[in-house]
Amino acid sequence: MSILITGGAGYIGSHTLVELANANYDFIVYDNLSNSSSESLNRVEKIIGKSITFINGDIRDTAKLKEVFGNHSIDSVIHFAGLKAVGQSVEQPLEYYDNNVVGTLRLLEVMSEFGCKKIVFSSSATVYTDPDKLNIQHSKLNIKEYSPLREDSPVGGTTNPYGTSKYMIERILEDLYISDNSFKIAILRYFNPVGAHKSGTIGEDPNGIPNNLMPFISQVAVGKREYLSVFGSDYDTHDGTGVRDYIHVVDLAYGHVKAIDYLNNHENIKPLVVNLGTGTGYSVIDVVKAFEKASGKKVPYKLVDRRAGDIAKCFADPSYAKELLGWVAKRSLDEMCEDSWRWQSNNPDGYEVK
């Protein structure tokens, strides 16, 4: 029996393949390479010492999915495939809803048809209601207590089509379970994945100018960009810059192994909703300092205005993942920076071929 890994050539998917192989799971990768390169799979093959079955396909292509389910014994799906750039989602909402929401519907329909009823879904901390909206909707809640976020914190007040697509998919999965209790569903809400595999051969390879902090810092350190713009220095945080819950991608990847183990070992379970974070928040300046230490390079920065839509603090309460799955994030911020740097300095242009 195999696990179908949609989006398995991407950043988190490729790292999860390594952890699944370490845990002796068999898998098949299904990806349309819209935001990745098959080179990541060649590199994973070298790490795990095994060849990977890869199908170049789109999750919206029902005929192709049926062919895959018809030709292989697939008993579960880890569903990473999706578009994830927040800014782009504001400009291209229809493309995001089509790719993420319609794509997931097509996948779930084919899974149902073939009796494959186990799915782990990549959700995001972005589904938690924006505290500004929370202030309006729940005036009795204290914004300062917004983080740590628990799985039962308010959700759905999303601020962009990307976040809304994740929230919609969570609701679709919950409704699917209500209609068919034999579905086993794990919704994993990721915080801020960073870092790379220890080998320095796989990692995050963003297109164009990175939107996220760690890839941007890495590109400054390697000399591809002049300086980092620090978005906001007047937040109510220990040094005025934004605080986030950065989690090593290998810890995150292992969380998927634990989720699949759980689904395999339990019957009659309601959909699980689990935060995958460390529970510790670091500021932008904390990350810059840690990166300078790890790389031995200077990371010049300028303090600029806040980025629209950003919040001061966002970090997880990860206690449910520990209680339910026996999972905790183990790797420190220093290790996240060392591993990001190894990947970036060994591969200044990422996988190059896209």
Residues with a catalytic annotation lie at 162
Query: What phi-psi label fits residue 195: left (phi over 0), alpha (psi between -120 and 50 degrees) or beta?
Result: left
CB of 104 to ligand NAD, least distance (A): 9
Does residue 128 belong to the site contacting ligand NAD (CB under 6 A)? no
With CB under 6 A as the contact rule, the residue among 44, 81, 284, 337 that binds ligand UD1 is 284
How many residues lie near ligand UD1 (CB under 6 A)? 21
62 binds ligand UD1 (CB under 6 A): no
Q: Please give the residues from 182 up to 211 whose contact with ligand NAD meets the rule CB under 6 A.
A: 190, 193
Q: Does residue 157 interact with ligand NAD by CB under 6 A?
A: no
Nearest approach, Cβ of residue 303 and ligand UD1 (Å) = 9
Using the rule CB under 6 A, is 7 a contact of ligand NAD?
A: yes
Region of 40-48, 93-101, 223-231, 289-297 interacting with ligand UD1 (CB under 6 A): 223-231
Residues between 188 and 207 that touch ligand UD1 (CB under 6 A): 192
The residue (of 76 and 122) whose beta carbon lies closer to ligand UD1 is 122
* Count of CB atoms situated within 10 Å of the CB of 268: 7
Query: Under the criterion CB under 6 A, does residue 12 sit at the interface with ligand NAD?
Result: yes
Shortest distance in whole angstroms from residue 190 CB to ligand NAD: 4
Of the two residues 46 and 307, which places its CB atom closer to ligand UD1 in the complex? 307
What distance in Å separates the CA atoms of residue 44 and residue 15, rounded to the nearest whole number?
8
What span, in angstroms and rounded, lies between the C-alpha atoms of 97 and 222?
35
Q: Which stretch binds ligand NAD (CB under 6 A): 3-11, 62-70, 226-234, 258-266?
A: 3-11
Other C-beta atoms within 10 Å of 125: how many?
A: 22
Q: Find the part of the chain contacting ligand UD1 (CB under 6 A) among 195-203, 218-226, 302-310, 346-354.
A: 302-310
Q: ∠ at Cα 135 (134, 140), nearest 5°?
A: 100
DSSP 267: S
Q: How far is the CB of 103 from ligand NAD (least distance, A)?
A: 5
Verify binding: residue 33, ligand NAD, rule CB under 6 A. yes
Chain residue at closest Cβ approach to ligand NAD? 10
Q: Which of ligand UD1, ligand NAD, none lies near 39, with the C-beta cut-off 5 to 8 A by kind? A: none
Contacts of 285 (CB under 8 A, 6+ apart): 230, 239, 241
Q: How far is the CB of 123 from ligand UD1 (least distance, A)?
A: 9
**Measured distance CA(169)–CA(187) in Å, rounded:** 10
**Given 307, 322, 330, 354, the residue binding ligand UD1 (CB under 6 A):** 307
Span of 5-13, 69-77, 211-219, 290-298 interacting with ligand UD1 by CB under 6 A = 211-219
Applying CB under 6 A, the residues found at the interface with ligand UD1 are 86, 124-126, 163, 192, 211-213, 216, 228-231, 242, 244, 284, 307, 309-310, 314
Applying CB under 6 A, the residues found at the interface with ligand NAD are 6-7, 9-13, 31-36, 58-60, 80-84, 99, 103, 122, 124, 190, 193
